[in-house]
Amino acid sequence: MTVSNSPHVLVVDDDPLTRMMATEALREGGFTIREAEDGEQALALFDAAPPDLVLLDVMMPGLSGFEVCQQLRARQTGHLVPIIMLTGLDDGDSVERAFDVGATDFISKPINWTLLRFRIRYVLRSAEVMKELTRNKESLSNAQRIARLGSWEWFVKEDHVLRSAQYYRLFGQRADGFGEGMAAMLEHVYVPDRPLMAAALEGARKGTGFQLTYRVVWPDGSVRTLLETVEPLDGGGERGCSGMVMEGSVQDITEQVDAQRRIRQLAYFDHLTGLPNREFFRETLLGVTSRSLRHDSRCAVMVVDIDRFARINDSLGPERGDQVLQVIAHRLREAMGDRTPAEPAGGSGITRFKVARLAADEFGILMSDVGSVEEMLVLAHRLLQVVRAPIRVPGQDITLSARVGLAVMPDHATDADALLKAAETALNRAKRTNGDPVALFSEEMKVAAFLRFTLEGDLRRALGADELKVLYQPIVDVNQRAIVKAEALVRWSHMDRGSIPPPEFISLAEETGMIVPLSRCVMEQVCADIAALGDDLPDDFRVSINLSGVNFMDAQLLPTVRAVLAEAGIPASRIEFELTETVLMRDLDYATVILAQLREMGVRVAVDDFGTGYSSLAYLRRLAVDTLKIDRSFVNELDDGQGIAIVEAVIGLAHSLGLEVVAEGVETVAQLEALSRRGCHLIQGFLFARPMSSAMLAAALHNPAFVPATVQPAVRRGGVQLAF
């Protein structure tokens, strides 16, 4: 058989779905497949036609995978057939038991089916090497074989052993100091492997051959790995032996084992810190998230980034930088109580914490079975203190700072890759802000991160092109049955993606600093439209413009407003700025000064989304505001009788302070009637109109039927806008 000629694989699993997926994946890889749903059927199929490889599940009813593997190895035809065990168990004892019963390799579920095909081909190539050795042994004389391998003959009855010179060299011993009898070799076997070897020799004493890999300790303390093959010697009686003779050959496979270990080390571990690398971290995360979903538990990922680490390499050199990284890696691992896979936490077989190096100065921390988000945030801040502790290098102490991004499953993601991405997105937010160095993932971060990569350049272009439009949503005085104000709303019709939702590009503009030129463009367009409408506008008509926190804190806000008004030649009384409570309360003293200056200019100010933030009478008395806008969330609750108390409170507060009150998001006649009965007559919403162009606004201002004297619910169309 050659690996390229459709190898036969026996797939043994009691789960039909797993068998089906394995079968399809392997057939696509060019393998010929037979299936068994339990251990008994697997043994029968094996006996009928031994396969080239067995893919064997551990947990099955009846005979377990361990028992099936053990029975296959007991068969003459099953000594060398590779057996790969599939297991959802990730504890060290299960892995150890798998190898104890003769498994060639094991794979933890969930399975990467693409990598499985390559892994099977690798195992088959290794098995082919072993089979080739066996064929050579059968075809070559004992002299040729002994020249290539260490060998021995054991006359069992007399316990007399003839060993080749090469055999002693494999143990690093001289013949005169090795010891007599077969049991003497046990004294040179590595202590943990002695019970297994002793059991194998006891079987050989009864005529049972074996093939076993074990370790020996040389006099200099080095450890070598040997592969021993034992079988009864044919024709022992013809050679004058008085009893059974066993023959063995020993091969030193240390280099092969070390090579495999080095390959794994290079593939899964960081050579500088010794920590798992990103690939190992991701594979571990796949297992932890899968287990968390099965058991309805929570897991979390933190990504820790060292601030300005490049300056250490630049100023002290890469050698010192490497030393610092090694210290940080050790500290993080000690702080988290990280254990290697061979040291399961608490003996439970589950590694609760895992620290890895994800990038040059970036570390990942995986936590399973976590508690509340608040506990995770406390832990993150504790890790920052660990990083900040001074690091002593020759000649000076180095003090570092760091940023942490945190994401929790299932709160922020439902699969491994999404969870890691969420933590990295949170880290990016923490790195872009000067506030809390620990950032917890939110959907807003996800939107911002996506837009940062895909829309930032487009938005910069759109500011200079004709893609951004200003529309106007009328604000109606139902008592006067007239449009008295309008809110300016910016819309982006992307040349490729079509209409972009305002929250998406507004948040991007705020994060990238483009909100300042964007808001100026809106101001200029609004003032130009007001100037163009001229006498078509009522004397007291004004347009409200939304200002973000970035705009409000911009030192050039007042000069910009003055310049735009002067250029358009319109009075400041035509403009009203809308700001949220949160923006105003960030710095109440600053807000008081700026709003007072806007009032001196003649610009009015409205508090948007009132009721969702601080809603304090004290701050309203301090601030020069003219209008309160009832948030649409409270208006929506009027249909089912909820939110009435808050709406009444806002209206009463506005009237007591002599402020206008506007209800936004009004969509139904019932909402309109409820607001009117409580003294709110300024209405904004789809009930009357969607946002419209300045030309359509001019036409609506001159349409006496735009706000009728009576409202007939029967003529409501589309559930959004009424036609009268």
Of 446, 602, 583, 593, which Cα lies nearest the Cα of 515?
Answer: 583
More confident residue, 494 or 603: 603
Q: Can you give the pLDDT at residue 148?
A: 45
| pLDDT digits 0-9 by tens, 514-541 | 899 999 999 999 999 999 998 888 888 9
Q: Assess if residue 446 is contained within a domain.
A: no
**DSSP codes of every residue in 516-582:** HHHHHHHHHHHHHHHHHHGGGS-TT-EEEEE--HHHHH-TTHHHHHHHHHHHHT--GGGEEEEEEHH
Q: Assess if residue 314 is contained within a domain.
A: yes
Q: Can you give the pLDDT at residue 719?
A: 33
The tokens describing 33, both together, are 């497949």
| Pair type for strands 32-36 and 8-12 | parallel
Q: Can you give the pLDDT at residue 713?
A: 35
Q: How confident is the model over 466-482, as a mean pLDDT?
A: 90
Q: Can you give the pLDDT at residue 314?
A: 63
Which CATH number is 334's domain given?
3.30.70.270
More confident residue, 257 or 361: 361
Q: Is residue 292 predicted with pLDDT exceeding 60?
A: yes
Q: Assess if residue 458 is contained within a domain.
A: no
Q: Is residue 445 predicted with pLDDT exceeding 70?
A: yes
Q: How confident is the model over 560-580, as a mean pLDDT?
A: 94
Domain boundary among 115, 137, 159: 137
Q: How confident is the model over 228-251, as a mean pLDDT?
A: 74
Examine the domain organization and report whether 230 and 305 are in the same domain.
no
Q: Give the relative orientation of helices 16-28 and 113-139 as an angle to the nearest 10 degrees.
A: 70
Examine the domain organization and report whether 252 and 313 are in the same domain.
no
Which CATH number is 704's domain given?
3.20.20.450
Q: Assess if residue 500 is contained within a domain.
A: no
Q: Assess if residue 569 is contained within a domain.
A: yes
Q: Is residue 60 predicted with pLDDT exceeding 70?
A: yes
Name the burial class of residue 305, with classes exposed (0-12), middle (13-18) and buried (19+) by CB atoms within 10 angstroms of its CB: buried
Q: Can you give the pLDDT at residue 614?
A: 53
d(CA 285, CA 351): 11
Examine the domain organization and report whether 365 and 386 are in the same domain.
yes
Helix (H), strand (E), coil (C) string for 429-465: HHHHCCCCCEEECCHHHHHHHHHHHHCHHHHHHHHHC
Are the C-beta atoms of residues 368 and 356 closer than 8 Å to each other? no
When pLDDT is cut at 50, 70 and 90, the band that residue 175 belongs to is confident
Which CATH number is 240's domain given?
3.30.450.20
**DSSP codes of every residue in 247-265:** EEEEEE-HHHHHHHHHHHH
Examine the domain organization and report whether 323 and 175 are in the same domain.
no
Q: Is 240 left (phi over 0), alpha (psi -120 to 50) or beta?
A: left
d(CA 424, CA 450): 12
Q: Can you give the pLDDT at residue 341?
A: 41
CA 89 to chain centroid:
22
Q: Can you give the pLDDT at residue 560?
A: 95
Name the burial class of residue 372, with classes exposed (0-12), middle (13-18) and buried (19+) by CB atoms within 10 angstroms of its CB: exposed
Q: What is the dihedral of CA 106, 110, 116, 120, to 10 degrees?
A: 20
The tokens describing 209, both together, are 């051959």
| pLDDT digits 0-9 by tens, 154-172 | 999 889 999 888 888 888 8
Residues with Cβ within 8 Å of 122's Cβ and at least 6 positions away in sequence, in order, are none
Mean pLDDT, the chain, whole residue set: 84
Q: Can you give the pLDDT at residue 141?
A: 39
Examine the domain organization and report whether 224 and 361 are in the same domain.
no
Residue 667 DSSP code: -
Q: Is residue 23 predicted with pLDDT exceeding 70?
A: yes
Are the C-beta atoms of residues 688 and 707 closer than 8 Å to each other? yes
| pLDDT digits 0-9 by tens, 87-128 | 876 667 788 888 889 998 888 878 888 888 888 888 898 888
Q: How confident is the model over 327-340, as a mean pLDDT?
A: 82
| pLDDT digits 0-9 by tens, 309-321 | 876 776 677 888 8
Q: Can you give the pLDDT at residue 452?
A: 63
Q: Can you give the pLDDT at residue 451?
A: 56
Total number of domains in the chain = 4
In three-state secondary structure terms, 380 is helix
Q: Is residue 144 predicted with pLDDT exceeding 60?
A: no
Q: Assess if residue 255 is contained within a domain.
A: yes
When pLDDT is cut at 50, 70 and 90, the band that residue 140 belongs to is very low
Which CATH number is 74's domain given?
3.40.50.2300
| pLDDT digits 0-9 by tens, 178-225 | 988 999 999 999 999 999 999 999 999 999 999 999 999 988 888 889
d(CA 560, CA 483): 28
Domain boundary among 99, 122, 137: 137
More confident residue, 273 or 309: 273
Find out whether the peptide bond into 110 is cis, omega within 30 degrees of 0.
yes
Examine the domain organization and report whether 212 and 228 are in the same domain.
yes
Examine the domain organization and report whether 366 and 232 are in the same domain.
no
Q: Assess if residue 501 is contained within a domain.
A: no
Task: Give kind and range of the element (H or E) at residue 704.
Answer: none
In three-state secondary structure terms, 61 is coil
Instruction: For residue 584, report the phi and psi dihedrals to the nearest 5 degrees.
Output: -65, -35
Q: Can you give the pLDDT at residue 349?
A: 36
Examine the domain organization and report whether 28 and 158 are in the same domain.
no
Examine the domain organization and report whether 674 and 544 are in the same domain.
yes
The tokens describing 547, both together, are 């200002």
Q: Can you give the pLDDT at residue 43?
A: 94
Full domain range(s) for residue 355? 276-441
Number of H helices, E strands in the chain: 27, 28
Domain boundary among 94, 113, 137: 137
d(CA 711, CA 687): 10
Q: Is residue 143 predicted with pLDDT exceeding 50?
A: no
Q: Is residue 388 predicted with pLDDT exceeding 60?
A: yes
More confident residue, 89 or 68: 68
Examine the domain organization and report whether 230 and 304 are in the same domain.
no
d(CA 591, CA 616): 15
Examine the domain organization and report whether 689 and 547 are in the same domain.
yes
Instruction: For residue 241, report the phi and psi dihedrals to the nearest 5 degrees.
Output: -80, 140
Angstrom CA distances, 393 to 275, 334, 335, stand at 21, 20, 21
Angstrom CA distances, 370 to 285, 349, 439, stand at 14, 16, 17
Are the C-beta atoms of residues 6 and 31 closer than 8 Å to each other? yes
Examine the domain organization and report whether 150 and 103 are in the same domain.
no
Q: Can you give the pLDDT at residue 508?
A: 77
